[in-house]
Chains A and B, each alone.
Chain A
Amino acid sequence: MEDLEKQLAEMKSRLDTLSNKSPQNKISLIVFSGDLDKALAAFVIASGAVAMGMEAVMFFTFWGTPLLRAKGKEAGDKDPMSKMFGAMLPTGARDAKLSKMNMGGMGTAMMKSLMKKKNVASLEEFLALAEELGVRIFICEMSMDLMGFKREEMIEYEHLTYGGVAGFLAEAQESKIQLFI
């Protein structure tokens, strides 16, 4: 009898540990690319996931980082390399280009006008929607540092965290879906 009780207690504690470790109804996406089409796909998936009742987390790193720059906000006091990066990389979502068929900007312009015609939301609109839906965004500190971006020049976003890979991996570990875009 005592043995049975002991076994039951052990099973209960194992079950508790298991349920604590099982993945939550969450999706984690790494947005490594800074391309318009890829970023759009990331946002469609993140928004769709929230619509399906999931929690969504997006980690913007490397080429994805410039997408979160705010237009019109400047950060002073940059060294020449950072200034160069700042000038060469897109200043926010509106400057993003297609990954293929950009054709000197013509392809991107055509795609944007087609999207408008078909009532597909723009990248900036998707960003606003994501904020409304509670999508959490992590910005990679290392990329910020490499590219010389300062926090003052990034967008205002309600659920924004500056972090590193561990912060993201902690979320990814408990997610059911993990994607690299």
Chain B
Amino acid sequence: MAADLKVEKVLDLKGLACPMPVVKLSKAIKEIEVGQVIEATTTDRGSLTDFPAWAKTSGNEIVKTEEGDKEFKFYVKRAE
């Protein structure tokens, strides 16, 4: 089901500290079309709360989250 998530853009945000992950994500989301998905990987633990909060206020959707030991992968769909 989730296996056929077509990723339009891959964003490597590893090593970036707050607020850079959300700042870069907000820029990147403008570069894809509505309905397309960005795969973003971060090492910043804060992004686990930051990304959902950002998605809520920006009106975009986090379709999937993969929480690893040191890395966190987010699949973000542009909603508008």
Among candidates A44, A52, A118, residue contacting B58 with C-beta atoms closer than 8 Å: A52
A44 to B16, CA, bound (A): 13
Interface residues of B in 33-64 (CB under 8 A from A): 53-54, 57-58
**Contact count band on B:** 10 to 19
Known A48-B22, A52-B22: A118·B54 in contact at CB below 8 Å? no
Neighbouring B residues of A48 by C-beta, 8 Å:
18-19, 22-23
Q: Decide: A51 and B17 in contact? CB cutoff 8 A.
A: no
Q: How many A residues face the partner with a CB closer than 8 A?
A: 13
The answer to the question of B20 belonging to the interface, with a C-beta cut-off of 8 Å to chain A, is: yes
Known A48-B23, A51-B22, A52-B26: A119·B54 in contact at CB below 8 Å? no
The interface of chain B, by Cβ under 8 A from chain A, is: 15-20, 22-23, 25-26, 53-54, 57-58
The interface of chain A, by Cβ under 8 A from chain B, is: 44, 47-48, 50-53, 118-121, 129, 133
